[in-house]
Amino acid sequence: MTLEEIKKGESKNVEFKVQLPDDSRKYIKTVVAYANTSGGKIVIGVDDNTRKIVGVEPSSVFQIMDKIANAISDLCVPQIVPNITFQTIEEKCIVEIEIYPGQNRPYYIQRLGKENGTYIRVAGTSRPADDAILKDLEYQGAGKSFDELVNVENDYQESDALQLCKDIRAYLSESKAVPLDNVREITITNLENWGILKRNGQMYLPTNAFLLLTKNTFRFAKIQCALFKGENRAVFIDRREFGGPVYTQIYEAYRFVLKHINLGATIDGIIRKDRYELPPESIREAIINAVCHRNYLDHSCVQVAIYDNRVEITSPGMLYGGLTVEQAMSGRSKIRNVCIAEVFSRMGIIEQWGTGFQRMMQGCRTYGVQDPEVIDMGDSLRVNFYRSVIETNIETIKTDLETNIETEKLSNTERKIIQLVQDHPEITQEEMAETLGMSKSGIRYAIRKLKSKKILVREGATKKGKWMIVKNEERKMD
């Protein structure tokens, strides 16, 4: 480890200790946590508060290294093989314990047992794994995925299988932009070959993937979407929860985001082109990744949250198979849900395994917006897209009085409300909500914004009145 790396301080994958603790259990849980996640280093001889190198007694280096090796061998199950080295920095000796991501998960402290002695790394600390994470680690160690297992609580329904075959074919037709007649039939045999169905003699048995792709009876296999006022979760403006087949959830969540982010316009010659403030394909890719790679054992839903300054997409479950964010961003991939990934690939929802993060990044750079922020939260993964203010040109929107509205900073929802009002001045807020597929509170919030900008006013009684769009010159006079 270099001096520059030490000066950066502790992190999820680096922990400092002034000296080797007499009680080895004080660092063994960190060893176990590293092996269960993406690996890491424990450095002996560095003050974790000041980041100063205090060193260890040179004459005791080999004794320290032997003590560490014996403790890890005696206390950890399955066996963890550390890389223990020493080096001299600023004329002081430090000992470095490097733990690699393990293949025989879960690793745990033997005396505590698997249920109580399994740890993972979360935000630079070692925490006990809950039941969902423990089961996920067991599947990883056994080389299995949750979605490929037979679901014994549900019976196979041929009608569900036939509908899935029909939907796969339709998605494939759309993704390849070819007529449906030019796409080959998808059969139940295909579903069996892809691991979606298992055969028991002459009977088919449904897997968890089959259920997720059809009637989806899993309580937490949903996407929760919300629009918030401000930059935190204090005040809801609009919210939706999407269940059903996971591929339809992706489409609905994607539509929710586009409905609530700004839509601007650019002029190319005499052609007007609508342009969202964030790249739609990058948003779509992030939602797909969240659904495809999430831990379905976790009692949490995928969440899509829209704030004034960002769009936040959170997927339950830590990065799979010991991957780091850096490795995932570089294109390295390990698939948690192999059957769902296979079907998504066949449907054209994903193009190539492992390219999702790169496509997100490239989409943002091509669009000219900030790179997405990918955050490993230990027990979940979050992607943030940071919003920018877009000038929405609505000079072409006129009322019956030929009132021109100059370029304003308007949200997509505000723009749609203006369009509704110009066509139907008597429209109610309830009718707006129904037409736009929004909550009443979301409509009320957007109308308050338009009123504060002095663009929209209400004339007459609540039930028999009408909306008026204020003339530009009148607003200037005010």
Rounded Cα distance, 88 and 58, in Å? 9
- Cis check for the bond before 279: say yes or no (omega within 30 of 0): no
CB distance 311 to 283 below 8 Å: yes
Q: How confident is the model at residue 472 (pLDDT cuts 50, 70, 90)?
A: low
Give the CA radius of gyration of the chain: 28
In the numeric block, the tokens 């600023």 are attached to 90
- The verdict on 294 and 433 lying in the same domain is no
- The verdict on 120 and 27 lying in the same domain is yes
Q: Return the closest-CA partner of residue 386 out of 400, 405, 414, 367.
A: 367
Q: What is the pLDDT of residues 298-321, one digit of tens each?
A: 999 999 999 999 999 999 999 999
Q: What is the pLDDT of residues 323-369, one digit of tens each?
A: 998 998 888 888 999 999 999 999 999 876 667 888 899 999 999 99
- The verdict on 60 and 91 lying in the same domain is yes
Residue 352 contacts by C-beta under 8 Å, 6 or more apart in sequence? none
Residue 388 has pLDDT above 80, yes or no: no
Residue 404 has pLDDT above 60, yes or no: no
Q: What is the pLDDT of residue 438?
A: 79
CB distance 131 to 293 below 8 Å: no
Q: What is the pLDDT of residue 399?
A: 37
Rounded Cα distance, 314 and 93, in Å? 42
Measured CA to CA in angstroms, residue 139 lies from 75, 106, 295, 317, 321 at distances of 23, 9, 11, 13, 10
- Looking at 81, 98, 129, which one is the last position of a domain? 129
Domain count across the chain:
4
Rounded Cα distance, 388 and 369, in Å? 8
> What share of the chain in percent tops pLDDT 90?
67
> What mean pLDDT is predicted for residues 155-181?
94
Residues paired with residue 228 on neighbouring β-strands, in sequence order: 236
CB distance 363 to 282 below 8 Å: yes
Cα 399 to its chain centre, rounded Å, is 42
- The verdict on 227 and 266 lying in the same domain is yes
Residue 473 has pLDDT above 60, yes or no: no
- The verdict on 86 and 183 lying in the same domain is no
- The verdict on 192 and 254 lying in the same domain is no
pTM over 0.85: no
- The verdict on 243 and 374 lying in the same domain is yes
Strand locations in 335-435, DSSP E?
373-376, 380-386
Q: Quote the domain boundaries for residue 189.
A: 147-212
CB distance 369 to 388 below 8 Å: yes
- The verdict on 78 and 177 lying in the same domain is no
Rounded Cα distance, 124 and 40, in Å? 10
For residue 419, is it within any domain? Answer: yes
CATH number at residue 436: 1.10.10.10
For residue 396, is it within any domain? Answer: no
Structure tokens at 203: 């009977």
Q: What is the DSSP letter of 147?
A: G
CB distance 450 to 394 below 8 Å: no
Counted residue by residue, the chain has a size of 478
- Looking at 351, 386, 421, which one is the last position of a domain? 386
Q: Return the closest-CA partner of residue 380 out of 294, 305, 306, 312.
A: 294
CATH number at residue 256: 3.30.565.60
Strand locations in 137-179, DSSP E?
none
Q: What is the pLDDT of residues 28-70, one digit of tens each?
A: 999 999 999 999 999 999 999 999 999 999 999 999 999 999 9
Rounded Cα distance, 90 and 391, in Å? 55
> What mean pLDDT is predicted for residues 269-295?
88
